[in-house]
Amino acid sequence: MKRSMILLMLCLFGIVGLVNVSHLYSQTKTIYVTVGTSSMGSPLYAAGNVLSQELNKSIPNMKASARVTAGSIQNIDLLTSKTIEMALGDSVTPKDAVEGIGVFAGKKDALIRGITCIWPSVIQIVVPLSVNSVGELRGKRVAIGARGSAATRYAQVALAGGGMTLADIRPEHVSYDEGKAFLQDGHISGSLHIAVPNALVMELLSSGKFKILEFSDEELKKMNAAHPEFTPFTVAPNTYQNQPKPVKVYQVPNLIITRENVDTDLIYQITKILYEKQKALAAGYKLWGAFRLEDALKGMPIPLHPGAEKFFKEKGITTRGK
């Protein structure tokens, strides 16, 4: 009897030992997360870099990195192919992907999931001082972002204000950095940029040769009528050098998105870090401090990932219907 008890205890200790080893293995397994962003030099790429660094600091065995992409449209393709685990971008593109409309007609992806709404993309078109309306860009070369980015849609919205389409300009599908350089060299008549403040816009306006194109109230109404998700935004005076007056432009909400089959606990931890480490994130990139927990799901156009849903429920944020 005594010998049987000893054997039983040894077996139990062995099992416990195996469980502990297994648990230890799971704790030491490297977690890889790639964050899709946008072109090199873009605000979303800078934001993605800061987020990746914070994830690496906050989650044991995490190896997160930001990936340069063509933008929101390519990010969806990369999520669908399981090449990346998360992405930053506008709210319109994932909605189109989930519903299978627009550029995603015939290739619907119902597994794209939201994590949280963040700051909006404020769209600015920088032009020479002599250009005073979007209509004056008719027939001109305009940099509208890399192919595969949502910037093409942003340009379509601006053109709608002047009663035009992409066919009425000569679009240059280049990165934001290249757009800035082309404008400086006089090769193009306008260059589209995202986020306020924006380092590239700052550089252009500091020369005294360029300005942000302002839209009239009537143009903004036309833009909103054609594309309701885009709303007016006013760039405050002196946001940039040589910009003493407010400038009326437009904006669209941004999201962090993922796939439904990315680990629930991982997305829960990442969502938690986004809010609990917001000050640290904002120290690396200012706009990480430009959104609030209570607004996290306002305008969320796609279903939430279960991990994000768990976090927001703990915080008392209504997730019904999201």
The domain total for the chain is 2
If asked whether residues 245 and 96 sit together in one domain, one would say: no
- Distances in whole angstroms, Cα of residue 231 to Cα of each of 87, 159, 248: 23, 15, 11
Assess if residue 321 is contained within a domain.
Answer: no
Q: At which of 204, 225, 252 does a domain end?
A: 252
If asked whether residues 303 and 265 sit together in one domain, one would say: yes
Q: What is the predicted pLDDT for the residue at 130?
A: 98
Direct distance between the N- and C-terminal alpha carbons of the chain, in angstroms, rounded to an integer: 61
Pairing relationship of beta strands 141-143 and 62-67 according to DSSP bridges: unpaired
If asked whether residues 243 and 288 sit together in one domain, one would say: no
CA dist 203 and 17 (Å) reads 61
Q: What is the predicted pLDDT for the residue at 7?
A: 44
DSSP letter (8 states) at residue 214: P
If asked whether residues 277 and 309 sit together in one domain, one would say: yes
If asked whether residues 214 and 261 sit together in one domain, one would say: no
Provide the domain limits for residue 295.
29-119+254-314
Ramachandran angles phi, psi of 112, nearest 5°: -70, 135
Q: What is the predicted pLDDT for the residue at 319?
A: 80
pTM of this prediction exceeds 0.85: no
Nearest to 84 by CA among 258, 254, 256: 258
If asked whether residues 178 and 159 sit together in one domain, one would say: yes
Where are the extended beta strands (E) located within the chain? 31-36, 62-67, 86-90, 112-117, 121-128, 141-143, 170-172, 190-194, 210-212, 231-235, 247-252, 254-259
Q: Is 142 helix (H, G, I), strand (E, B) or coil?
A: strand
Q: At which of 252, 284, 299 does a domain end?
A: 252
If asked whether residues 247 and 132 sit together in one domain, one would say: yes
Determine the distance from the C-alpha atom of residue 288 to the mean position of all C-alpha atoms in its chain, rounded to a whole number. Answer: 11
If asked whether residues 165 and 258 sit together in one domain, one would say: no
| Cα four-point dihedral sign 272, 267, 35, 252 | negative
Assess if residue 132 is contained within a domain.
Answer: yes
Structure tokens at 110: 């119902």
**Residues linked to residue 114 through DSSP beta bridges, in sequence order:** 257, 304
Assess if residue 307 is contained within a domain.
Answer: yes
Q: What is the predicted pLDDT for the residue at 132?
A: 97
If asked whether residues 161 and 258 sit together in one domain, one would say: no
Which portions of the chain are predicted below pLDDT 70? 1-27, 320-322
Pairing relationship of beta strands 31-36 and 62-67 according to DSSP bridges: parallel
Q: What is the predicted pLDDT for the residue at 56?
A: 98
